[in-house]
């Protein structure tokens, strides 16, 4: 079994701890149940830890699927917070708008009452009320005097009521303005909360997109490797394709949006060369490494280890697969994320096999090299001397750059 990096080990510990906490923790009572904010903080911390710690290249598929789910939970939680914050902001802004409308109405009413009060003063100066009071003495009958006195009283009451209305409107305006100040303060606080929530959502989405792009790159590499293995180990090829189809489904279910990549086909450096396997068969590789690969095969045979395998794979075959599984446009063939094809299919030009710079070794005329075998041990001890390096998650796969 290949060694596990410290980073991957920490990521596995984070995921395992989250799962264990969910399964083993006792049901909280109402008194100890964490708040929604605390729960979201916990999810956010888990998502940040998973995204920063997990090594997508080396991690197991199940670990990546768990990480995708954790990050999606964080995004979904942040979206709920944003919606709630925006709703609260809308209510606060509506309250401010209603208060502004009420103040405008009161100010309009006060203007009208002020004008009425001013007119009363003018009328009182031009035609003093005392004149009307003396009219009663000139009345021809007692009944006429009574009526004139009643009219004066009614006018006085009307004037007093108008003054009271003006005073009440001014007092109400002061109260409304004070209330509006509180509403504006509340709306500003809600705006800050909404902005903070949106910033946290954008951070979560960026984190999700970055992780999804890393997963997409892994998918692309694994799918390309599965196609390269079809000739040398069909069973292993099918297994990888099935595993990556499940991972692609998890990526889609997480609602993550991996960035589109772009690929181009690079010719094999030095053309193509065919090297002979001492136990029978041959491997086609780039001409630039043909001599080193032949020397490696001969040296391993001399040490009693029989190696062969598959090397170069014509990128035209991958182009045709993309046409069938992804679409016929240039974008569909060379740029669309592999997870969005049906079935998931690697972009052409993304495999070291398509440059003749990678070999999937077979061991002792059997299947592909696996960890712990004499073939793997020999390659681990000697392949670097011939310019080949292992991809840790695939003991059979050796290339000029370890990818």
| pLDDT at site 21 | 38
Statement to judge: residues 109 and 226 lie in one domain: yes
Closest CA to 72 of 251, 247, 197: 251
Going by C-alpha positions, the residue among 56, 67, 73 that lies closest to residue 16 is 67
pLDDT in tens, 345-385: 999 998 999 999 999 999 998 899 999 999 999 999 999 99
In this structure, what token pair is assigned to residue 337?
């994320």
- pLDDT given for residue 143 in this prediction: 54
State whether 274 and 152 are in the same domain: no
The answer to whether 371 touches 241, Cβ cutoff 8 Å, is: no
C-alpha 377/C-alpha 305 separation (Å) is: 10
- Alpha helix stretches (DSSP H) within 127-141: 129-135
Same domain, 252 and 378: no
- The tokens for 153 are 């009283």
Q: Could you tell me the CATH number of the domain that includes residue 287? A: 3.30.1380.10
pLDDT digits 0-9 by tens, 66-76? 999 999 999 99
Q: Is residue 334 part of a domain?
A: no
The whole-number pLDDT of residue 308 equals 97
Task: State residue 5's pLDDT score.
Answer: 45
- DSSP codes joined into one string, 61-108: HHHHHHHHHHHHHHHHHHHHHHHHHHHHHHHHHHHHHHHHHHHHHHHH
Buried b or exposed e, range 205-222, using 16+ CB within 10 angstroms = bebbbebbbbbbbbbbbb
Helix, strand, coil percent content, the chain, rounded in steps of 5: 70, 5, 25
Distances (CA, A) of 127 to 122, 136, 161, 362: 8, 16, 20, 120
Lookup: tokens for 60: 């197991």
Same domain flag for 250 and 280: no
Nearest to 327 by CA among 345, 311, 350: 345
Dmax (CA) for the chain in angstroms is 148
Query: Global pTM?
Result: 0.72
Looking at the structure, do residues 250 and 278 belong to the same domain, yes or no? no
Residue 335 lies in a domain: no
Give the mean pLDDT of 167-172: 88
pLDDT digits (tens, 9 = 90+) for 72-128: 999 999 999 999 999 999 999 999 999 999 999 989 888 888 888 777 767 666 666
Distance CA 102, CA 110 (A): 12
The per-residue pLDDT for range 148-163, each reduced to its tens digit, is: 444 445 445 556 777 8
Structural domain that includes position 378: 266-313+351-399
Q: Which of the four pLDDT bands, split at 50, 70 and 90, describes residue 178?
A: very high
- Is residue 311 within 8 Å of 398, Cβ to Cβ? no
Query: What secondary structure does DSSP assign to 171-187, as a single string?
Result: HHHHHHHHHHHHHHHHH
Give the span between the Cα atoms of 145 and 133, in whole angstroms: 10
Domain count for the chain: 2
Domain annotation covers residue 5: yes
Residues 20 and 163 in one domain: yes
Instruction: From 109, 120, 115, select the one nearest 171 (Cα to Cα).
Output: 109
DSSP, res 55: -
Per-residue confidence (pLDDT) for residue 131, from 0 to 100: 52
d(CA 255, CA 386): 44
């Amino acid at each position: 079994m290949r060694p596990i990096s410290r980073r991957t080990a920490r990521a596995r510990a984070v995921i395992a701890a989250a799962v264990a906490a969910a399964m083993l923790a006792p049901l909280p009572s109402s008194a100890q149940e964490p708040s929604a904010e605390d729960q979201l903080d916990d999810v956010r911390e888990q998502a940040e830890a998973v995204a920063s710690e997990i090594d997508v290249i080396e991690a197991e598929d199940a670990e990546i699927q768990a990480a995708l789910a954790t990050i999606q939970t964080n995004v979904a939680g942040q979206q709920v917070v944003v919606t709630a914050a925006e709703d609260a902001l809308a209510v606060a802004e509506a309250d401010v708008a209603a208060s502004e409308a009420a103040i405008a109405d009161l100010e309009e009413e006060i203007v009208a009452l002020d004008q009425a009060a001013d007119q009363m003063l003018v009328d009182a100066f031009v035609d003093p009320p005392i004149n009307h009071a003396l009219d009663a003495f000139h009345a021809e009958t007692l009944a006429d005097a009574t009526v004139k006195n009643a009219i004066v009283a009614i006018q006085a009451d009307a004037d007093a009521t108008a003054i009271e209305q003006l005073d009440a409107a001014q007092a109400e305006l002061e109260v409304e303005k004070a209330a509006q100040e509180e509403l504006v303060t509340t709306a500003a606080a809600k705006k800050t909360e909404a902005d903070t929530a949106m910033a946290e959502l954008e951070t979560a989405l960026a984190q999700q997109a970055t992780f999804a792009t890393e997963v997409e790159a892994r998918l692309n590499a694994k799918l390309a490797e599965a196609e390269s293995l079809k000739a040398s180990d069909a069973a292993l090829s099918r297994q990888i394709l099935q595993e990556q189809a499940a991972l692609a489904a998890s990526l889609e279910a997480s609602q993550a949006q991996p960035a589109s990549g772009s690929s181009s086909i690079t010719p094999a450096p030095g053309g193509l060369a065919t090297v002979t396997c001492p136990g029978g068969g041959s491997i086609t590789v780039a001409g630039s490494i043909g001599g080193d690969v032949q020397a490696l095969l001969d040296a391993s045979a001399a040490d009693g280890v029989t190696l062969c395998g598959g090397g170069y794979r014509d990128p035209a075959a991958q182009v045709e697969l993309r046409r069938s599984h992804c679409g016929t446009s240039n974008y569909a063939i060379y740029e669309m994320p592999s997870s969005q094809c049906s079935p998931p299919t690697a972009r052409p030009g993304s495999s070291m096999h398509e440059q003749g710079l990678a070999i999937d070794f077979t061991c002792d005329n059997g299947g592909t090299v696996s960890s712990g075998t004499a073939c793997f041990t020999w390659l681990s001890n000697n392949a670097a001397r011939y310019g080949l390096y292992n991809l840790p998650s695939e003991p059979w796969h050796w290339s000029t750059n370890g990818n």
